Chain A
Amino acid sequence: MLTFTVRRLLYGIVLLFVIVTLAYLLLYAAAGNVGRTILGPTATQATVALKNQQLGLNSPLISRYFSWLGHALTGNFGSSWFTNQPVTTAIITRLQVTLILVLGAVIVSAVASAALGVWAALRGGWVDRVIQVFSVLGFAIPGFLIALFLVRIFALGLHWFKPTGYVPITYYFGGWIRTVTLPIIALSIALVAGIAQQVRSSVIDSLRQDWVRTLRSRGISERSVLFKHVLRNAGGPALSVLALSFVGLLGGAVIIEQIFGIPGLGQIAVLATSQGDVPLVMGLVVAIGVIVIVVNLVVDLLQGFLNPKARIS
């Protein structure tokens, strides 16, 4: 198990290295005249050249890459070209916000889809049909459209939540709830739709297994059969769906953050890419890569916990 974990971790690090290298080379190759981009069309030729020299852009790409990599390994990703803010600071402050949204969405959708999936599997009939319809709609309607409806109804109409903005949890809990609830729901709905379907079919499948009859024959209560045994067996496939959706969730957060005006990674991603702020973009690539690797590792460990057969391979 330990060697398995270490191997997955090494694999992830190599993957990250490849992504970062490709991103660096592509972004700088496409960056054009950086000094001109930063200073604008009114700057003189001389100041542009000076700016480029200050940024160290005159040395060859490869040597710049290795110098960047060396600094990056010590946690120094340089500074933004436009604000001069250190990239690490800019990302870490916003990372927290995005992680709250994404993890909130993961927790909400795990709980909601388990509940809905089990309910649909057990009750069948109209409950099942309503949940199926919900799944189709949740899957088919893009998250940002749902976000628009949510804002219209619950923020502008009922005034339960804030339509835009973000209040840190440490500052005022009530305000935090009023700002994160709608974005988390908007992010979760598509996920709930997909996972609930998976939970439903896994539960139905598990309930048909021979061992369920044998457990019942031992006098195990229906509750234990369902929530201890069946749900644990149905958990593995559902977790796989959740893991596959995670990267998409990060992408979804970019759009959702724009709509709700939330200062997260998405906002910085939009800003950095539209300005062509390469150091900031590189910082983002690393941050997202690390998140994806960590999440995959956690999923592997959870999968091993849920499914003993997965532990050996």
Chain B
Amino acid sequence: MSEAAVSSGALAPDISSDIRAARSHLARRFLKNTLGIAALAVLVLIVLAAIFAPLLTSYDPNAVSVLNILQGPGAGHLLGTDGAGRDVWARLLFGARFTLAGALLATVVAAVIGITSGLVAGYYGKWFESVSSWVTTLLMALPGIVVLLAARAVLGPSLWSVMIIFGVLLAPAFYRLVYAAVSGVRNELFVDAARVSGVSDFRIIARHILTVVRAPIILQASIVFGIAIAVQVGLDFLGFGDQTIPTWGNILNDGFTNLYRDPQLVIWPGLAIVITGVALTLFANALRDELEHSARPSRRRRAAVATAAAEPVPPVSNTIVHDEPDTATEAPLLHIEGLAVGYPQPDGSVTRVVDNVSLNIGRGEVHGLIGESGSGKTQTAWSVLRLLPSGGEVLEGSIQFDGEDLSKVPSAKMQDIRGGRIAYIPQEPMSNLDPSFTIGSQLTEPMRIKLGVSKAEARARALKLLGQVGIPNPERTFASYPHELSGGMAQRVLIAGAVSCEPDLVIADEPTTALDVTIQAEILDLLRDLQQELGVTILIVTHNFGVVADLCDQVSVMQKGRIVETGPARSLFANPQHPYTRSLFDAILDESPARGPYAEVLPR
């Protein structure tokens, strides 16, 4: 017992301090958000004005004075008087008290009911879970205003009772939030660990679970608070509220009835409502922004850094070129000369990710572009397609494809070339199919544009292609959605899509990396078969020498944005000269000693 307690004691503070660090991080970030801070300051001012209302005015907000009806601003009354001779400024200040207190009451009721039931349902589950989700659906199907009108008919026009009922109606807003968060953490390891080591449920909830949802609850509360103000003001404005107390809605109502005699009376309460509403919304938005930032430490930004900025290009070193004894005399299909790709940074500098890359790919050749992650090989491939991520651009060099410089052709022309003459096979099959359309629709759309064939013809072609790439039941796959396919199947579909419009060049970006080992071999076989059948030229981007050995005629090795060694696969395999190429080979041999085929190629 003691050991368990100690270990949990060691564990628990660790995690909660982790969370606390994230929290204080969030608070710090929020303090830097100027708009959010300004909104918070405005809210605090409004609340202070409400609390210290008696100090800010000497008038009684309900003191009727027949002699002083509808006086303009000034002359003893800061904002003038209303239709009953009451001081508008005093009514606004005291109105803030009632309006804000009412909205606060609704928020507190909603939060207490919603959070408690959400915690219980999320943590213990069982029957309470189904009952409360039922009640939630029920409450959310009720139009609040109608319920409130009915309640008023029964209970009379009381601000407090109306706000309590509205709080009950709004409880699902908190319930859903807390329930989702709690059922998410319920089975996390650290909660399990705490439970196993005998920490009481109450402490687990307070310590590990509430800390997770604290910030989202504040966010939700500010939204609910705003809604409560709007509904309460709306009811009062229509005259359904308690007319004996000053609320912003009642003041607005009075102003509205005197709209033609004194239009400015609508402006003051309107302004108070708008300012409070905008401040609440801005506060919530700022909080949400910061929350989203700290919740996801920006996977994308990290990814972008990894591919774009991590490998600045080193000083020039010459490419080692292996002799090509049987160099073809005809012009290459793709001729890249001195290509440089860069990402301009906010500070005005440009991060170069590809520099001075030259490549020649002959017709019918399979060319492997190999290198580790971040070496610039995918960037090179994307610049041929002119599909660099936003911000990336070709800085220097030319990309001659069949006599045309792709870096200079107009984008309409490029759109014709893409898909029609140059096709692309992506790395990750599952994320590269549009989840909302059937495989058939995604296969036929390009064919109908590029080949100008009828719908029926495109369908027939697509089915034939699906058969060709080894899909057992083309009809069924044609009608399927991407999520119904396995990764290997999806990659076959993508390969079918790439060759569907009879391209001259296929760019395959690590086509096997995301697949299981057995499927990898099948996909490579498929690529080889298709290449031999169609005579298509392939540029294959990979970090795997196995793929190169399997498929490629020519290889270029890329490191840090440059090509360090290039030549026929056989010669490069027999005699790797650049230290980086050698280290790549070593890495493979270390990793998998059982790879047979290289042994012949690589005498070591």
Q: Which residues does A use to contact B, with CB under 8 Å?
A: 15, 18-19, 23, 27, 30, 136-137, 139-142, 144-145, 148, 208-211, 213-222, 224, 229, 232-233, 244, 247-248, 250-252, 254-255, 258, 269-270, 273-276, 281, 284-285, 288-289, 292-293, 296, 306-309
Within 8 Å CB of A224, what residues of B?
445
Residues of B within 8 A of A30 (CB): 154
Contact A210 B277 (CB under 8 A): no
A141, B436: Cβ atoms closer than 8 Å: no
Instruction: Mark contacts of B240-278 with chain A using CB atoms, 8 A cut-off: 1 yes-contact digit, 0 otherwise.
Output: 100000000000000010000000001000100110011
Contact for A140 among B281, B387, B432, CB less than 8 A: B281
| Cβ B433 vs Cβ A274 within 8 A | no
Contacts of A252 in B (CB 8 A): 145
Q: B123 in the interface, Cβ–Cβ < 8 Å?
A: no
| A215 neighbours in B (Cβ, 8 Å) | 434, 442
**Does B481 reach chain A (CB closer than 8 Å)?**
yes
A148 and B266 within 8 A (CB): yes
Residue ID in chain B nearest A305 by CB atoms: B436
CB distance from A4 to the nearest CB of B (A): 16
Q: A19-B138, A220-B419, A248-B143 are in contact. Are A308 and B435 (CB under 8 A)?
A: yes
Report the separation of the CA atoms of residues A139 and B240 in the bound assembly, to the nearest whole angstrom.
Answer: 24
Q: Could you tell me if B144 and A216 are in contact, using CB atoms closer than 8 angstroms?
A: no
Residues in B with CB closer than 8 Å to A285 are: 146
Query: Which chain A residues lie closer than 8 Å to B238 at the CB level?
Result: 255, 258, 270
Q: List 27 A-B contacts (CB under 8 A).
A: A15-B137, A140-B277, A140-B278, A141-B274, A141-B277, A142-B234, A148-B270, A214-B432, A214-B433, A217-B385, A217-B419, A221-B449, A229-B434, A244-B140, A247-B143, A248-B143, A251-B146, A255-B234, A269-B146, A270-B149, A273-B149, A274-B152, A274-B153, A274-B240, A288-B143, A307-B435, A308-B435
Q: Please state if B138 and A18 are interface contacts (CB–CB under 8 Å).
A: yes
Q: How far in angstroms is the closest Cβ of chain B from A252?
A: 8
Asked if B426 is at the interface (CB within 8 A of a chain A CB), the reply is yes
Complexed CA–CA distance, A233 and B431 (Å):
13
Which chain A residues border B420 with CB–CB below 8 Å? 219
State how many angstroms separate the Cβ of B284 from the closest Cβ of chain A: 9
Binding site for A on B (CB under 8 A): 137-138, 140-146, 149-150, 152-154, 226, 230-231, 233-234, 237-238, 240, 256, 266, 270, 273-274, 277-278, 280-282, 285, 300, 385, 387, 415-420, 423-424, 426, 428, 431-437, 442, 445-446, 449-450, 481, 483, 494, 497, 501
Cβ B434 vs Cβ A251 within 8 A = no
List A contacts of B256 (CB < 8 A).
Answer: 148
CB closest chain-B residue, reference A193: B281
In the complex where A217-B387, A251-B146, A274-B149 touch, is A19 in contact with B436 (Cβ < 8 A)?
no
Contact, CB under 8 Å: A219 / B273: no
Closest A residue, CB atoms, query B428: A210
Select which of B231, B431, B449 is within 8 A of A209 by beta carbon.
Answer: B431
Q: Is the CB of B418 within 8 A of A232?
A: no
- Chain A contacts for B277, CB-based, 8 A: 140-142
Report which of A208, A251, A293 forms a contact with B144, defined as CB distance below 8 A. A251
With contact pairs A220-B445, A306-B436 given, residues A144 and B237 touching in the complex (Cβ less than 8 Å): yes
Complex interface: chain A residues within 8 A of B280 (CB): 140
On chain A, the residues within 8 Å of B240 by CB distance are 270, 274
Query: Which residue of A142, A220, A247, A307 is within 8 Å of B449 (Cβ)?
Result: A220
> Given contacts A219-B419, A248-B143, is CB(A211)–CB(B424) below 8 Å?
no
Interface of B is mostly: helix
Question: Most chain-A Cβ atoms within 10 A of its Cβ — which of B226, B273, B437?
Answer: B437
Q: Which of the residues A23, A217, A274 comes within 8 Å of B424, measured between beta carbons?
A: A217
Looking at B149, B270, B428, B436, the one whose CB has the most chain A CB atoms below 10 A away is: B436
Instruction: Determine how close the nearest CB of chain B comes to the CB of A180; give it in whole angstroms.
Output: 20
- In order of increasing CB-CB distance, the 5 nearest A-B pairs are A219-B419, A140-B277, A217-B424, A251-B145, A218-B419
Q: How far is the CA of A142 from the CA of B145 in the complex (A)?
A: 14
Q: Looking at the assembled complex, report how far the CB atom of B254 sits from the nearest CB atom of chain A, in whole angstroms.
A: 14
**Inter-chain contact A136/B234, CB cutoff 8 Å:** no
Contacts A142-B233, A144-B237, A208-B300 hold; do A19 and B278 have CB atoms under 8 A apart? no
A214–B278 Cα gap in the complex (Å)?
42
Distance in Å: Cβ of A284 to nearest Cβ of chain B: 7
Q: Assuming A247-B140, A254-B145, A276-B154, what are 14 further A-B pairs, CB within 8 angstroms? A: A23-B150, A27-B154, A30-B154, A145-B273, A215-B434, A219-B416, A219-B449, A247-B143, A251-B144, A251-B231, A252-B145, A255-B238, A258-B238, A275-B153
Complex CA gap A293/B431 in Å reads 35
Indicate if the CB atoms of A144 and B234 lie closer than 8 Å.
Answer: yes
**Chain A contacts for B285, CB-based, 8 A:** 136
Q: Are A217 and B233 neighbours in the complex by a CB distance under 8 Å?
A: no
**A260 CB to closest chain B CB, in angstroms?**
12
B275 nearest in chain A by CB position: A140
| A211:B432 contact, CB within 8 angstroms | yes
A229–B154 CB distance below 8 A: no
Please, how many angstroms separate the alpha-carbon atoms of A235 and B190 in the complex? 37
Complex CA distance for A267 and B221, rounded to whole angstroms:
31
Residues of chain B contacted by A273 (CB below 8 angstroms): 146, 149-150, 152-153
Which residues of the partner chain B approach A209 to less than 8 Å between Cβ atoms? 431
| Chain A residue at smallest Cβ distance from B255 | A148
Contacts of A247 in B (CB 8 A): 140-144
Identify the closest chain B residue to A29 (Cβ).
B154
Known: A148-B266, A220-B419, A289-B141. A213 touches B426 (CB 8 A): yes
Q: Measured between C-beta atoms, what is the minimum distance from B434 to chain A in Å?
A: 5
Q: Are B481 and A308 in contact (CB under 8 A)?
A: yes
- Min CB distance A51 to B, Å, is 19
Contacts of A140 in B (CB 8 A): 226, 274, 277-278, 280-281
Instruction: List, in ascending order, chain A residues with CB within 8 A of B434's CB.
Output: 211, 215, 229, 233
**Measured between alpha carbons, how far is A295 from B438 in the docked complex, in Å?**
27
Contacts of B154 in A (CB 8 A): 27, 30, 276
Q: How far is the CA of A248 from the CA of B139 in the complex (A)?
A: 12
Cα of A254 to Cα of B153 in the assembled complex, Å: 16
In chain A, what residue has the closest Cβ to B292? A201
